[in-house]
Amino acid sequence: MIPVLEIGGTHVTAALVDPRDGRVTSRTRRPLDADGDAEAILGRVRDCADGLPVPPGARWGVAVPGPFDYARGIALFNSVGKFDALYGMDVRAALLHGLRQRPGDIVFLNDAHAFLTGEWSAGAVRGHRRAVGITLGTGVGSAFLADGRICDTGPGIPPEGRMDLTEIDGRPLEDTVSRRAILARYGDPAADVHDIAGRARAREERARRVLDDAFTGLGLALAPRLADFGATALVVGGSMAHSWDLVAPALSTGLATGGWTPDDPGAGADPPAPAPPEDTAGSAPLGPGRTSAAGARRTRTVRPAGPSGDAALVGAARAAAA
């Protein structure tokens, strides 16, 4: 079992994960204030991790959002709306020397990369050769995957594989779809996104329009990139994906308008049954737009994250075990 941490804008999770089958045990989850000072943030991370039954010298996997120097473990957050107090800090050293279990090594990876890797290996997009993952929360995280590997360059892939570096009508994507953008557009300082979602379900026109515009805009921005990349699957995670009944219709509309029409618009909240692993020995790699037999049942599927929410933990464990 591999010890892992998932550090997000509102919470931190520690767990033990079997990277072979995705089994998660000893899970601990703690709230996290991304606007706190450095010691408060790292103290909460240490508190969460210290509950794991892990011997000294273990190799840990840590999924954390960017901007971050993943090779060196240095935080590069600066004016991104979270973790500004960690800017320039050696998080790797802080964990190596600060955790009770004294890790032997720590492997950091982008949380969206970890999420998509986990969903591809044991979740909602298993069996697809080319898939894209989006996480919706404080901001927009993204990952592009081909044959089990995260891609940073190539047809359809934005700079550094980051959709947050793209624009809609000359404005950053996160000015249209992000927690900050949705709250600003709605205009009620007492409401958070989950409040707006509740009001949309209660048929409040303003709430519904704000959410529809945000997720339709995301679909429009994603569609040409998915087509160029040859993606057969899009999986959406993050806190906003919990409101899939509101996200899916508008997102699917934007995707179809932009030229990537899902075969299953508004797919339900349960992930598809896992497809058997593909035997690729001796076969030519599939190019963009082509699907394997395992992925042929749905050639353009859009799905929410698996209901367990374990994908990023599984992805982090696979990175640490590699």
**Could you report the per-residue pLDDT of 203-236, keeping only the tens digit for each?**
999 999 999 999 999 999 999 999 999 999 999 9
% of the chain at pLDDT higher than 70: 89
Band (82; pLDDT cuts 50, 70, 90):
confident
Residues 6+ apart with CB under 8 A from 91: 42, 64, 68, 73, 74, 75, 108
249 burial class (0-12, 13-18, 19+ CB within 10 angstroms)? middle
Which pLDDT score is estimated for 266?
55
Which of 99-113, 228-242, 252-266 is predicted least confidently? 252-266
167 falls in which pLDDT band (50, 70, 90)? very high
pLDDT digits (tens, 9 = 90+) for 132-141: 999 998 889 9
H/E segment holding residue 217: helix 205-229
Q: What are phi and psi of 272, to 5 degrees?
A: -70, 160
Dihedral angle sign, alpha carbons of residues 64, 69, 73, 76: negative
Which residue in 231, 244, 229, 239 sits closest to 303, CA to CA? 244
